[in-house]
Structure 1
């Protein structure tokens, strides 16, 4: 018997595929896609994606933090934000990146997630801290990808012959404005995650969170410094790209470095 989550997964993938090809064909023909149609079709896919994720992630015993559920969650969130940003900035082309990422995340979450992957200690506050942290990482990863695309776009714009993917992108100034939208969103989420962490975590040393916390705080200062520099002194361009990459590198060292030390060196 075919399960309802399977049906919803297939329907979500159909919606994602329809939205992708609609946007791709219009942009390839240099025609502006209908934002209303794009928003509706992608929103249908996201609602179905959310239902499948809800069944796997939110259980009677708490939140199931299986790695594939988290991948599904973060990929879906990235597409949600991509759609929201495209409602007020001409950046529909970036949905061509967000849609396949969300589709891959959905497939991985549905096919490979395992039950009973819960946090050792459970509370609403701790769950909020974890979800906010994941959300901040997802948004700041989007900003990092955006910064990398801007760097390549800047290099290509200096050449006489531009590649096809550069022609599909919005103007550099629009990409730059979107970068700071992402950075501001991620910075607010990271601030909230850190505040919840300070109130919810009993012992940073015993729970092996000191390394991750220190690098997250340093990263928070880097992003904050960049945002202040942008709005007060007009920092932009290559300086903004370098600060964005440095901030996410610190976050990655905090997260991946903690996992490496605990699981490989200490063996926990």
Structure 2
């Protein structure tokens, strides 16, 4: 018997595939795509993706924190943000990156996830902190990818012969505006996640979270300094790219470094 989540997964992948090829064909042939069609089909795919996640992630025993479910969650969130920002920024082409990422995340989450990855002593505040933290990491990862694309785009624009992928990208100004949209969103999510963490986690040192927290706070200051520098002193271009990369490297060191120390060295 075919399960309902499997039907949702297949339909979501059909919506993702249709919107991807429709958008790619129109952009390569330099024809204006129908924005309403893209929004309808891609929006349907996102709704179906969310339905699959609801079944896999939210269970009677609590939130399932299986790594593949979280990959599905973060990839879907990244596409959702790309979808939302493309509604008011001329960056529709960037969905060509977000769609396959979300499709792969959906497949992995549905086919490889396990249903028993729970936190033993969980409560609502801790679940909110974890979900907000994951969301902040996902958005700031998007900002980091965007910064890398901007760096390559800036290099290619200075050459006389542009490559095809550069021609498909939105203007440098639109891409830079999107970068700061993502940083503002990620910074806000990180701020709320840190606040929830301080109120929901009793002892960072006892729970071996001091390393992660310290790097998250330092990263928060880096992103905050970038936003202040941008809106007060006009920081942009290469300086914005460098600050974005430094901020995410600090976040990654805190997250990945903590897991490495706990699991590989301490065996916890």
Match of 1:11 in 2: 11
Counterpart in 2 of 1:234? 234
How far residue 120 of structure 1 moved from its aligned partner, in angstroms, is 2.5
Deviation at 1:181, TM superposition (A): 0.3
> Partner of 2:121: helix, strand, or coil?
coil
* CA positional deviation for 1:39: 1.0
Q: Provide the residue aligned with 2:72 in structure 1.
A: 72
TM-score (norm 2): 0.99
The match for 1:50 is: 50
Report the counterpart of residue 256 of structure 1 in structure 2.
Answer: 256
Counterpart of 2:161 in structure 1 is 161
- The 5 A counterparts of 1:78-89 are 78-89=78-89
What's 1:185 paired with? Answer: 185
TM-score of the superposed pair, with normalisation by structure 1: 0.99
- Following TM superposition, by how much is the alpha carbon of 1:3 offset from its aligned partner in structure 2, in angstroms? 1.3
Other-structure match for 1:198: 198
Ranges of 4+ aligned residues in structure 1 off by more than 4 Å: none
The separation in 1 between residues aligned to 2:250 and 2:47, in whole angstroms, is: 33
CA distance in 2, matches of 1:138, 1:201: 22
- What's the secondary structure of 2:195's corresponding residue? helix
Deviation, structure 1 residue 139: 0.3
The alpha carbon displacement at 1:121 in A equals 1.8
1:32 Cα shift? 2.3
Rounded to whole Å, the distance in 1 between the matches of 2:178 and 2:127 is 29
Distance 2:120 2:221 in 1: 30
Provide the residue aligned with 1:149 in structure 2. Answer: 149
Which string of whole-angstrom CA distances, capped at 9 and with x for unpartnered residues, describes residues 76-100 of structure 1?
0000000000000000010000000
Aligned to 1:122: 122
> What's the CA shift for 1:34?
1.7
Once superposed, what is the RMSD of the aligned Cα atoms? Answer: 0.6
137-146 or 118-127, which deviates more: 118-127
Paired residue total: 268
SS across alignment from 1:89: coil
Task: Give, in whole Å, the separation in 2 of the partners of 1:120 and 1:153.
Answer: 46
Q: d(CA) in 1 for partners of 2:18 and 2:233?
A: 43
- CA drift at 1:33: 1.7
